[in-house]
Structures are given as C-alpha cells and as structure tokens.
Amino acid sequence: MKSYSSGKIRNIAVLGHGGSGKTNLVEAMAFLSGATKRQGKVYEGNTISDFDDEEIKRKISMATSVVPVEWENHKINLLDTPGYFDFAGEVKEAIRVADSALIVISGRTGVAVGTEKSWEHAEERQLPKMFFVTDMDDEQANLYDILNDLKELYGKRIAPFQVPIRENGEFVGFVNVIKMEGRKFVKDHIETCEIPETLKEEIEPIREMILEAVAERSEELMEKYFMQEEFTLEEIQNALHEGVIEGEVIPVLCGSGKHNIGIQVLLNSIVKYMPSPTEEHATLLAKDIDSQELINIKCSEDETLSALVFKTIIDPYIGKISLFRVYSGILKSDATLYNSNQETTEKINHLYCLRGKQQIEVKEIKAGDIGAVTKLSATYTGDTLCNKERPIELEGIQYPESLSVMAIRPKNKGDEDKISSGLQKLIEEDPTIKVEIDSANHQELIYGLGEQHLEVVVSKLQSKFNVEVELYKPKVPYKETIKGKIKIQGKHKKQSGGHGQYGDVIIEFEPLTDLNRAYEFEEKIFGGAVPKNFFPAVEKGLEESVQKGVLAGYPVVGLKATLVDGSYHPVDSSEMAFKIATTIAFKKGVQEANPILLEPIVSVRVLIPNDYMGDIIGDLNKRRGRVLGMVPLDGKQEIQAEVPMSEMFGYTTDLRSMTQGRGTFTMKIERYEQVPSELQNKVIEESKKEA
C-alpha cells in the first residue's frame, strides 16, 4: 500500500446500532475498492472486520477494526466499531482518532437507540457526520420515514443526497439530488436514467433545502440564489463540503451493503464531503512535558513527530500489536521513540497498515494516517509516542465507567495464576475490564460494561489462555458496628508444665462516631494493673479481632476500645497471652454491646430521557432508594438518588431494559448505614450457611 499525504486521507468511524449492517457495508466498500477479491458476509464468518474467534462465533462485532481502502487516489481508513452497548469502549477508541463519522441505519428497522448513541458519541468529539441507510433492497425499507425521524431528532441539517427509485416495490435505483440525475441498477453496473415524474414533486423541497444550505455559505452565493441563477456543481460540492465540516449539513445516502448497491456513491461522497486530517484537526492541543503548558500541534508532515496509541491487540502468535494514529510528522521504521506517559523509549522495527488481521508492511506512516507496530514493551492504549527532544502528551481516551460486576473464580484449583495472567492481557486489549481484590470477603471482582461483556471475558479466558472460570454473584461488603456501651473482662489463663499463660484485661467498648475508621484504642490504666509493655499486644489483639465481627463475620468499624483495668502475672504473662485475652474480651463485649450490620449506600446518578422518569423513580423506590432530586441536563433528566448497594446488582441490564438502552448511570459508595432488622437476620442466616 502506497504512502498518502495528509490531505489525501480520510479517517472515518463507522457507527450504528447493533445489527444495522456496519460490517457488511465496510466489506462492500473493501470489495468495490479492490481491497479484497471476495465480498464476505457476517453470517458466513468471513468478513475482514470480524476476524476474532468470538466475533465469528457470535456473529457480531466486539472490537474496533481498521479497514483501509484506496479510492480516487485517496486512502480511507474505515474504523468498523461494535454496535452493542457492552463494547462501547471500542467505540470511544475509534472516535478518538477519527475525523468524521458514518452512521449506518438499517432501512428495515429504521432509527434505533444505537443511532442516537452513535450521534452522541460523534457529538462528544464534534465530528462531522454522514448517514447511510442500508438494506434499501428490503421491501420493508422506508427512507421517508427514516428521514422524518432524523429531521425530528436533528432538525433541518439533515440533507438527503439521494432519493430511491422503486418499481413494483423493488429498489431499482436512485436520484442524485446534487446532480439532479437518475441512476438505475443494471446487472453489475449503474446507468443514467430520467428522473421519474412521480418523484419530481418529492425531490423539489429536498433540492431546495440543499440549495439554501449552499447559498448560506457566502454573500456571493446568496446573491446568486436570490437572482435564481443556477449554482455550478463545483459551487454546490464545495459549499456542502464546508457545511459538513461545520456540522451544518448532515448528508443522508442510501443503498445496500449486503448487495453492493450505492457503495460507489458513498465512497465518492466520503472523499468529496468528509474532512481530511488537515481540515478537521489542523491544530490539536497537547501538553508540553517540560513546561506543563498546553501547546498547539499542527497536523503536518513537516512538524515534529507525535502519535497516539489508541488500541492494543494481543495476538497469541505475534504478541502485542499497538495501533496508533500519527498526528504530526512522519513515523519511519527503525525509529526510536519516546513514550511520554511511561517515560521510556521504544524501538520501532517494522511498521504496518492493518486491514482487519492482515498486516501490510510499510516504510513510513505520515501525519493523519493510521498504522500499527508489534512488540512494544512498555506502551499501552492511550500512550503518546513522540521525539525525546520535544516530549509532549496527547489527550488520551475517555472510557465509559464499568459498573457491571461479578465475582470470578477458577473451576480448577491451582489456576489462579493462569487467571491473573490471562486477565492482565485482556485488560491491555480492553481497558474497560477492571479487576479488584476484595480481601474482606475473599473474592476477586471483575467489572465490565454489561453481562455480555463479562461473558465474552470468560469465553476468551478459555479459548485464548486455556483456563476455565465461573462467574457468581459477588458478596456485598457489609460491615459491623455496635450501638451500645459495655465494660467487659477478657481473661486468658492456661497452666501446663513449666511457664503458664496469663493475661487479664478489662476493656470498655463504645461506638465511635467515625465509621471510616475500624477502631480507636486508648488506655486508662492506673497503678500499673497492666504493664505498659503489654499495651501494644492489647492493640494487636484488637486489630486482628475487628477483621471479623460477631454477627456475620464482616469487618467491624466505628469501635472505640479503652483499656481501663486488668491484671498480670510476673512470670506467666506474655504478649501472646494479653493478645488472646483481648480477643476474648472483644467477642464477649461486642456481642453484648448491641451489634448491628451496616450496608454500603451508593450515590446514584441516572441520566434518562424525560419519557422514562416515572418508571425509573418507581424502580429506585422499589430498591429501597431515596430520590434526592432531578436536574435537567443536555435535554435529558439526571435523577440523583441514594440506594443500598445490595439492591443495585444487575442494574446495568435492568436500566437498559427499562429505557431501551437510552439510560446511563454512575454510582459510587457514599457511606454506610444500618441494615433494616428483617434484612439483617436474612444476611446473618446466609452467612451462616456459607460458613
């Protein structure tokens, strides 16, 4: 593959609802452009994009893949993204390095939740957008309904560049509204045809809207429009190009990815109307490592080198593959680069352009282009590679928060190290996977973006790393405390041959107002009833005792213990004896000081469209939640509430179900509160069964 200058490159994220036809569309573009000799199909498991075993098995995209195609002396880097919400982290990686977004809509199913999500993802990065309505050969497809829905959502910016021609219910061609010419599909090519009379009335307002958009680009064009002079094709295309970049014009095209219809027009439109890296990101903010100030980085081959690693692939045979986008300068093979995030240097041996899993070796990657390199030792997703003489740090990738959690354990004993090693490699590939050790409950927790995401992790651990694991519901990190005050004696006396063991303490236990602390220890000993050298042993006994409470074995917090009296033996007393005596006093004292169970309360923020307010508030109330307020935010409502953590298990799936995927939420532990008595008894019983 030849090297392209920055102005001849298009980086486009292909977004859309799960199953809308993104991968089939990318495959059609690859086939038409000659990048592949046979057009694969998702259901056959032979597409360029979906090359991972899990993707082939499940017949869905689960990772962003890069498919570069060459068209009209341009290079188009297609970033095919997953449409399922559990893999939204992959979408974030793609839009971080894309200059524009192609949002795919199925003509059969129409505008879906994933369409809206795709729009929101593109809006986050202020990317120019284009819609492509695929499956137009399906008799259920209705472009006009889709256009009405898009206009209702996004206003007058929606500009259909094509209108379908149907004969006997079949999609047989389209009208190119820009050129005002008909096109008909004839076997394996397209022929020019007359615009059907029945369509002229429908096309007129669409054409008028496009001409108005063109006229608004300059005073000269506006004057021409008012004088009813015809715009030249070049004037129309240049004006629309500017309008697309500024977000004032959102083109809508149509066709069929599966049957390769309308793909040529789509590729031409990407080249004509979508921005090159020099237009959209002519300057980019980066942090200068030396001065710690923000500086402008220009997307130019003449600038000092800077590149961002936006994705990592762990290949069982090749090892680690790092995908990057060059933002300035030219990256050549055999270069030595500085990783400003890790403060290390990396040697670049071979450079590649990836097309799915195919590695095409190249000698250089120019500013604005996307490439790959293998076997970087200390570089991770989100890291900046640059010249050591001018160290900078580019903006990283903002991933969605992983809130779906399960506990994980090996099916076979002795596989713990295998799990740890496998998970570490999967986290390198997918930073939305988080692993946490809950030492209090002796469990390993794994976080993901949804149930399907975690199922895929389990499947990959088995297929890639040969380790079988099972997921199970995690234990809630309950805690215990006391509400009463008690003075209690703990005595340990044991006589055996030789020296015996003797320790005697009287400790006062009472609540400590600060539940963030496990305990506070004081001593108020008078007259040397317990020698000072045994005080540390008493505190050590207390420190060990609070690890396991008397109710259900959960850690104890908010406990004040004051050593007020005791006795000792000049020969038999020892640190161990006093530690055991403290343990005895703890168990007896806490049991009698009105022990209670505490549960974590999480602060929850749920962002939803207004239509779902009643359902969400009702559901939070059922979960023993307290709704604290509602705040309008970006045309939606943010519900702020506090809910017991035990009631939030599975909320990711439940919220998606209640809002058709439109709702999102965040949560964090706020504090601990007393568990209601009826639930406390249930938790204690479950704990006893487990023990």
Q: What is the mean pLDDT of residues 318-342?
A: 94
Rounded to two decimals, what is the model's pTM? 0.89
CB 680 within 8 A of CB 687: no
Q: What is the mean pLDDT of residues 117-124?
A: 95
pLDDT band at 691 (very low <50, low <70, confident <90, very high): low
pLDDT of residue 522 exceeding 70: yes
pLDDT band at 416 (very low <50, low <70, confident <90, very high): confident
Q: What is the mean pLDDT of residues 373-397?
A: 94
- Strand pairing class (158-160; 306-315): unpaired
CB 666 within 8 A of CB 655: no
DSSP H/E element including 250? strand 250-254
pLDDT value of position 497: 63
Both tokens assigned to 125: 């990065």
pLDDT of residue 198 exceeding 90: no
CB 42 within 8 A of CB 23: yes
Q: What is the mean pLDDT of residues 473-482?
A: 94
Closest to 687 measured CA to CA, from 478, 515, 408: 478
Percentage above 90 pLDDT, the chain: 75
pLDDT value of position 319: 87
Q: How far apart are CA 259 and CA 25, in angstroms?
A: 9
pLDDT value of position 205: 85
Q: What is the mean pLDDT of residues 181-202?
A: 85
pLDDT value of position 218: 85
pLDDT of residue 213 exceeding 90: no
CB 429 within 8 A of CB 65: no
Tens of pLDDT along 595-631? 999 999 999 999 999 999 999 999 999 999 999 999 9
Q: What is the mean pLDDT of residues 158-166?
A: 89
Per DSSP, which regions of 528-674 are E strands?
A: 559-567, 595-608, 626-633, 636-644, 664-674
Tens of pLDDT along 265-312? 999 999 999 999 998 655 688 999 989 999 989 999 999 999 999 999
Tokens 């038409």 correspond to 32
Q: Which structural domains are found in the chain, ordered by start?
A: 6-199+248-280 (3.40.50.300), 283-394 (2.40.30.10), 406-472 (3.30.70.870), 479-593 (3.30.230.10), 597-690 (3.30.70.240)
Q: How far apart are CA 368 and CA 436, in angstroms?
A: 38
CA-to-CA dists, residue 300 to 266, 289, 373, 399, angstroms: 27, 21, 21, 28
Q: How far apart are CA 279 and CA 457, in angstroms?
A: 39
Tens of pLDDT along 625-679? 999 999 998 789 999 999 999 999 999 999 999 999 999 999 999 999 999 988 9
Mean pLDDT of the chain: 92
Closest to 400 measured CA to CA, from 90, 82, 16: 90
Q: How far apart are CA 3 and CA 371, in angstroms?
A: 11
CB 84 within 8 A of CB 74: no
pLDDT of residue 191 exceeding 60: yes
pLDDT value of position 281: 54
Both tokens assigned to 167: 């004969």
The vertex-673 CA angle with 599 and 544, nearest 5°, equals 65
Report the first-to-last Cα separation within the chain, whole angstroms.
64
Q: What is the mean pLDDT of residues 209-229?
A: 88
Q: How far apart are CA 451 and CA 436, in angstroms?
A: 17
pLDDT value of position 498: 67
Q: Is 154 helix (H, G, I), strand (E, B) or coil?
A: helix
pLDDT value of position 282: 56
Distance of CA 53 to the CA centre of its chain: 21
